[in-house]
Amino acid sequence: MALPAVDGRHYVYRVDAPAEALPADLFWDAWHCHDESALPRAWDVFDAAVIRRVD
C-alpha cells in the first residue's frame, strides 16, 4: 500500500491481512503505522492510497 504524504512522497507499507480484509481496514492499518513514525504526515484520505494485493 502506498500512502502520499505532505512532503510530496509516497511511502509504501506491506500490510499482512486475511484475503477477506476490507480495503479500508488495510488503509487504516498502514496509515496508523505511518502516523506513529517520524515521517511527515500522510494524507488520511482513503482515495489517495494505492492498494495492491501481493500473493
Residue 55 has pLDDT above 80, yes or no: no
Q: What is the pLDDT of residues 8-53, one digit of tens each?
A: 999 999 888 898 999 999 999 999 888 888 889 998 888 888 888 8
Please give the torsion angle defined by the CA atoms of residues 37, 50, 43 and 38, in that order, rounded to the nearest 10 degrees. Answer: 10
Whole-model pTM: value is 0.76
Q: What is the pLDDT of residue 35?
A: 85
Q: 14 near 55, Cβ under 8 Å? A: no
* pLDDT of amino acid 48: 84
